[in-house]
């Protein structure tokens, strides 16, 4: 089985990547690089994470940077989505505080950039988006992050309320992973046994 290192400390993201890559023959191993997100774009931040993981494990690594962009707020919180407040409850409270003066519907989109770092090769980037709107949450559901307050276009349920398979078919991360798989970039990954290496 081919090992792909995943640069994340986010359990929700890990779960989604495991579901999205099920059946691909890839074994995900987490590398929590804790790299500061100093890039000026999702792509730059994703590359920082992926390249740090690839260097530390001398193998192929995937990095992810995602954000919520609200039209009425000029794309806020964007790159700062996970850092505008210490907890998710506080982040959502701040988001609704800023949205209050603006008329509904509150149009928004999720953006995901995946970076695939392969030792000795240029880092590749794959983008996915999901359009929708922000609403007050009906419940927390099964999601994470801003999932409970985001309704994808045409859906009667929030990301947090959708069954995983349906969410993945609509989500920004699902779209980015499909772009990655369609590119054929993962087909060139050699198996650990072929390289004579042990990942354990």
Q: Which of 120, 119, 124 is nearest to 181 (CA)?
A: 124
Contact 33, 13 (CB under 8 A): no
Contact 189, 172 (CB under 8 A): no
Given 32, 40, 64, 65, which residue is catalytic? 65
Q: Which of 73, 62, 153 is nearest to 112 (CA)?
A: 62
Separation between Cα atoms, residue 83 and residue 87, nearest integer Å: 9
User: Is 65 considered catalytic here?
Assistant: yes
Contact 108, 135 (CB under 8 A): no
Q: Which residues are catalytic?
A: 65
């Amino acid at each position: 089985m081919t090992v792909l290192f995943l640069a994340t400390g986010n359990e929700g993201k890990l779960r989604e990547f495991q579901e999205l890559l099920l059946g691909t023959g890839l074994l995900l191993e987490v590398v929590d690089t804790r790299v500061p997100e100093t890039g000026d774009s999702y792509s730059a931040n994703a590359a920082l994470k992926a390249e740090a993981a690839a260097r530390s494990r001398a193998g192929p690594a995937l990095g992810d940077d995602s954000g919520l962009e609200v039209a009425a707020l000029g794309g806020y919180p964007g790159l700062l989505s996970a850092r505008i407040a210490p907890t998710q409850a506080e982040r959502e409270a701040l988001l609704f505080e800023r949205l209050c003066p603006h008329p509904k519907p509150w149009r928004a989109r999720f953006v995901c950039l995946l970076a695939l770092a392969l030792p000795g090769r240029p880092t590749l980037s794959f983008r996915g988006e999901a359009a929708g709107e922000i609403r007050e949450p009906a419940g927390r559901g099964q999601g994470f992050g801003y999932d409970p307050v985001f309704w994808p276009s045409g859906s009667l349920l929030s990301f947090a309320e959708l069954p995983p398979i349906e969410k993945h078919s609509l989500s920004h991360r699902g779209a980015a992973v499909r772009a990655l798989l369609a590119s054929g970039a993962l087909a060139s990954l050699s198996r650990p046994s072929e390289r004579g290496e042990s990942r354990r």
